Every structure is written in structure tokens, then in C-alpha cells.
A = this chain, B = another copy of it.
């Protein structure tokens, strides 16, 4: 042995990335995208007040951020009607999911999710040696009953569901989610990823009950708040579950600038209603573009729209490739039958115009390839 050895688990993991980012694709193409509509970022941007707070904090960045995220956590607690001990701030939902899997999933233990749901969660499960069990989507929705049944069958430590769902944009009612929470087996922790909840119809979120140790809710500043690049997410849950993060998290890992930005974003209470209106308009526009091109859009409670391309995954992939060829960054679901769709993020008019202009040619290219 001439080289230090990775752990057996690390040695068998591939070097991989859950998604290839747009910048990496631009470098491969040697050309910038003209529309960035693939990562469900918010092209409407963050609140101007959040931007101002981050700009101010930039000159204070010589200081480490507050390891306790005190001000942000207290503001969030007040907003959600819980105690600060029920809130954990972390480096985006991605970072929080990584810590959560680490805390609960020992090597060989079981985890349940939907086939085609969030790949970064699956990446973390694999990274800690968990065993992933999947159930199919049902009519383009995640299937709470099937997830619960699979969790019972496998004695799963974690169950993952997003509501509203990514990548389909569909959603369940608060009642359905409340029932799922109630049915979560003792011994399982339900991760309810609500990254898109700010963009869903009022009443989509079930009531928050932090006395229940079997569910943890995940929220983010990356979507409606338009701060994906700042890496701020938070979890809401039972105080014991929340405090467990303090066993292993990177206490000084939060950017001070991001902390300031997130706090200011919360204080600008006008911004989310504005974004909800912009996103609703943009969803309508994307649906209309789909219809004009003989395709159909799925209803969405998120800041993106899944467009059903009406055939199989190969056809959708061919459309996607032709869009990317024209400088339109979009993505698509990974798993059949969801992969008959492409997924287009909402965005400012000029970005959606660019998509609208590129779609007919992309369709023609894909259809020609079929012949």
C-alpha cells in the first residue's frame, strides 16, 4: 500500500454529481446559455432589501457568522409559531439532508423515496451506506400510501417526500399530507421537503406540529426567496430531532452574508406576494406555450412547469437536447413515465420568450429524428 486507503464505504462510492450545473454545461458547449430555466432558480431575484443587506454584510465578512444563527432562527420561529429550539438553519436543504441522513442512517439501513424524486437526497443516502427503496409515482404525483407501505415493509429509518413535488410540480392537499404524517410508522422519520411551499396554493402545508418527533419539515431561501446561491435552508421539527444536528453539523459553516440576506428577506413581507404573482403569470405563460406547440403542461404548485411531450423519454430527451443546442438550459425527469416531460423553470419574460422561440424548432428536430 503506497496510498492511504479510503474507508470501505467511500472506496466503493463513485465520484459523481447529482446534477451537472449550467456553468459546467456552458463550458462543455463553449457558449453561454441565453435562458437559464433548468434549475428552478428564481430569475425574478431576491428582495432588493435582501440584496442590500448582503451588500452591507460583504464588508463585515471578516467575521465568522453567528454559529447559532440566532437572529434568523428566532425570526423563523416567530413566523412559524414554534420555539427557536424547533428550527435548524443549514447550508440549504441539500446540506440539511446530508446531516440528517448521517444522523439517522447507519450502513445497511433502509430509506424510502419515490422513483425519480430528488437525486441529491439519494446521493446522501448512498454516501452514508443506506439502502434506498423506491415506489413509483402515481398519476404524476408522489404516492403517500405507497411510501408508507414501503416504509412499514422495510422498517425504513427515513421516508422522503416533497410537497409540492419536484420534478413534476404536482401537489397533495394539506389533508393528504396530514394523513401521511399520522400514518408514519413509529421508528421512521418522515422528511417533508417543502422547498416550493411558498409557491403553492394557500393551505397546501399541513399544520406544523413540533411535538411530533416523526416528521421534519424542510424549507429554503433558494426558491421563492430567490437566493439559491446563498445556501440557506432550515428544518422545522421536534426539539430533540433539531438538537441532534448540533452533534455533527459544521457550526461555523454558514456564510455571514447569507445569514444577513435571509433575515432581510423575511423582513420584506411584500416580496413573496410579488413573487407568487410573477410565478403564477410565468406558469400560465409556459402552459400556453406548451399548448401552442401541441403539448400539454401539468398543473404546477412550484416555480416550474413540467411539459408532457406526449411520447416517451427518448423523445423528450431529444427535445431537451435541441433546446440546449439553442442555448436554452432546461432539465427533465430521470425516470419513466415522468421522463416523457421536460421541466421548465419560471422566469422573467425575456427568458420565457427565448424558450418560446426555441421550442418549435426543438420539436421539429425531435420529430424529424423519429422518422
Interface residues of A (CB under 8 A from B): 1-10, 13-24, 27, 36, 39, 41-46, 51, 54-55, 57-68, 70, 91-92, 94-95, 98, 102-106, 109, 120, 127, 157-158, 186-189, 213-214, 222, 226-231, 238, 240-241, 243-244, 246-248, 250-258, 261
Which of A16, A23, A127, A244 lies at the interface centre, i.e. has the most chain B CB atoms within 10 A of its CB? A23
When the two chains form their complex, are residues A1 and B187 in contact, meaning their CB atoms are under 8 A apart? yes
In Å, the complex CA distance between A46 and B45 comes to 26
10 tightest Cβ-Cβ pairs between the two chains A and B: A229-B256, A15-B246, A54-B58, A4-B189, A23-B66, A7-B106, A61-B229, A13-B247, A21-B67, A3-B213
When the two chains form their complex, are residues A246 and B189 in contact, meaning their CB atoms are under 8 A apart? no
- A to B CB contacts below 8 Å, 5 in the list: A20-B67, A23-B70, A61-B227, A92-B250, A95-B250
When the two chains form their complex, are residues B41 and A63 in contact, meaning their CB atoms are under 8 A apart? yes
In Å, the complex CA distance between A65 and B91 comes to 13
When the two chains form their complex, are residues A62 and B9 in contact, meaning their CB atoms are under 8 A apart? no
The residue in chain B whose Cβ has the minimal distance to the Cβ of A260 is B229
When the two chains form their complex, are residues B70 and A27 in contact, meaning their CB atoms are under 8 A apart? yes
Say yes or no: A44-B23 contact (C-beta < 8 A), given A6-B104, A94-B253, A214-B3.
no
When the two chains form their complex, are residues A21 and B257 in contact, meaning their CB atoms are under 8 A apart? no
In Å, the complex CA distance between A202 and B109 comes to 51
Question: For A18, what are the chain B residues with a Cβ–Cβ distance below 8 Å?
Answer: 251
In Å, the complex CA distance between A102 and B59 comes to 34
Which of A58, A67, A95, A255 lies at the interface centre, i.e. has the most chain B CB atoms within 10 A of its CB? A58
Given contacts A3-B240, A55-B58, 9 further A-B contacts (CB under 8 A): A2-B186, A6-B103, A8-B106, A42-B62, A44-B62, A54-B61, A61-B226, A127-B247, A231-B255
In Å, the complex CA distance between A3 and B226 comes to 35
When the two chains form their complex, are residues B229 and A103 in contact, meaning their CB atoms are under 8 A apart? no
Which of A45, A54, A244 lies at the interface centre, i.e. has the most chain B CB atoms within 10 A of its CB? A54
Question: For A189, what are the chain B residues with a Cβ–Cβ distance below 8 Å?
Answer: 4
Name the distance in Å between A102's Cβ and chain B's nearest Cβ: 7
Name the distance in Å between A170's Cβ and chain B's nearest Cβ: 23
In Å, the complex CA distance between A188 and B45 comes to 47
When the two chains form their complex, are residues B228 and A61 in contact, meaning their CB atoms are under 8 A apart? yes
Q: Which residue of B41, B58, B62, B247 contacts A58 across the interface (Cβ within 8 Å)?
A: B58
Which of A4, A46, A226 lies at the interface centre, i.e. has the most chain B CB atoms within 10 A of its CB? A4
Name the distance in Å between A55's Cβ and chain B's nearest Cβ: 4
In Å, the complex CA distance between A214 and B13 comes to 21
Name the distance in Å between A29's Cβ and chain B's nearest Cβ: 14
Question: For A4, what are the chain B residues with a Cβ–Cβ distance below 8 Å?
Answer: 104, 157-158, 187-189, 213-214, 241
Q: Which residue of B24, B60, B244 contacts A66 across the interface (Cβ within 8 Å)?
A: B24
